[in-house]
Amino acid sequence: MVHLLLKLQKQFFEAEGYLVVENLLTPEEVDYYSTLYNSFLANKIDASRYRSDLSGANGEIEKITQIMVPSRLLPELLEKPFHQQSLQIARELLGYDINLDFDMMINKAPYTNTITPWHQDVAYWTDMPDKRAVSCWVAIDPAIKENGCMWYTPKSHLHPPLTHVQTANKGALKCEGSEAGSVCVELKPGSCVFHHGGTLHYSRGNSTANHRRALITNFRPVSMIALERERGIDHTGERKVKADG
Ligand SMILES: O=C(O)CCC(=O)C(=O)O
């Protein structure tokens, strides 16, 4: 079997809690996802059930559009390169019992200048006996500081989770975090970054004239996905604050 990752990359992920993989997708593949993404944003594919503004704002313009589980509406996505290759890398990082839990789209609209607050993904999830979890965030547009590329706090996944609170109007969860001591990950379209479920991260707002579109897959052990489903959790959009710690 062909491995996509080097041993050193896996070691980097384990130590730092994130890993950049350049050129996961070809320019042609990025074009495919770009067209599809725009169909979702323009409601040509009706995702209204799974769509919300992560900023918590209720205005006419969505600042941070979040569309959960796009592959439920378009199952063919599961067979396409992003899902297939991010799954393979997730397995190389965390083990061969890992599978897709959910996917999502997060877009920052032009000139909306709204941060995604510092948080750890574990704060969104029910507590799991097996804590292995990894997300893959692929840039569909160039992701730069000015439009809201991701920032990570290295090694933060090695500590107990921080206390989170929910921002207004069922907006995103947030905790304490800082750009100082964190790493800014600018990406070309088609390049991606993996982060552990415990890694502290955030993004600045989009102060540019263009969209900042990202497609995200999230992976965890098959047995933990089954446990989540037993508990009624399918990541279609509900947002709950987990107990502290
Ligand atoms: O795209 C963003 O600004 C935030 C993404 C995020 O928090 C995540 O993928 O876990």
Global pTM?
0.95
Is the pLDDT confidence value at 203 over 70?
yes
- In angstroms, rounded to a whole number, what is the distance separating the alpha carbons of residues 128 and 178? 27
Q: How far apart are CA 99 and CA 151, in angstroms?
A: 25
Q: What is the pLDDT of residue 170?
A: 76
Helix (H) or strand (E) holding 39: helix 27-41
* pLDDT of 242: 44
Distances in Å between the Cα of 236 and the Cα atoms of 43, 50, 101, 141 are: 17, 6, 11, 25
Run of H or E including 36: helix 27-41
pLDDT of residue 231: 93
Among protein residues, the one whose CA lies closest to atom 10 of ligand 1: 121
CATH number for the region 7-230 comes to 2.60.120.620
- Domain extents for the chain? 7-230
In contact, 143 and 196? CB cutoff 8 Å: no
Mean pLDDT of 183-203: 98
Question: According to the model, what pLDDT value does residue 167 have?
Answer: 86
Per-residue CA distances from 16 to 12, 48, 91, 152, 195 (Å): 6, 36, 18, 9, 9
Distance of alpha carbon 64 from the chain centroid: 13
Q: Which atom of ligand 1 is nearest to the CA of 121?
A: 10
Which atom of ligand 1 lies nearest, measured to the CA of 212?
1
CA 30 to chain centroid = 17
Q: Which atom of ligand 1 has the smallest separation from the CA of 201?
A: 7
Mean pLDDT of 37-54: 95
**Residue-wise pLDDT tens digits, 71-83:** 999 999 999 999 9
- Tell me which residue has its CA closest to atom 5 in ligand 1: 106
- Specify the pLDDT at position 155: 98
The preferred substitution site among 137, 145, 164, 207 for testing ligand 1, maximizing ligand atoms within 8 Å of CB, is 137
Q: Which residues line ligand 1 (CB under 6 A)?
A: 106, 116, 121, 135, 137, 148, 201, 203, 214, 216
pLDDT tens per residue across span 9-22? 999 999 999 999 99
Taken in order 62, 42, 187, 106, the sign of the CA dihedral is positive
Answer whether residue 243 shows pLDDT above 90: no
Residue 237: predicted pLDDT: 78
Give the ligand 1 atom nearest the CA of 172. Answer: 7
Span 121-151, pLDDT tens digits: 999 998 999 999 999 999 999 999 999 999 9
Q: How far is the CA of 3 from the centre of ligand 1 (A)?
A: 27
Residues 97 and 55: their CA atoms lie apart, in Å, by 34
Span 63-70, average pLDDT: 96
Using the structure block, give the residue that is written with the tokens 């590329």.
149
Gap from CA of 116 to ligand 1 centroid (Å): 7
Average pLDDT estimate for 34-59: 93
Is the pLDDT at 205 greater than 80? The verdict is yes
What does the pLDDT read at residue 168?
A: 79
Is residue 59 very low, low, confident or very high in pLDDT (cuts 50, 70, 90)? Answer: confident
Nearest-angstrom CA–CA distance, 91 and 113 = 35
Q: What is the pLDDT of residue 92?
A: 96
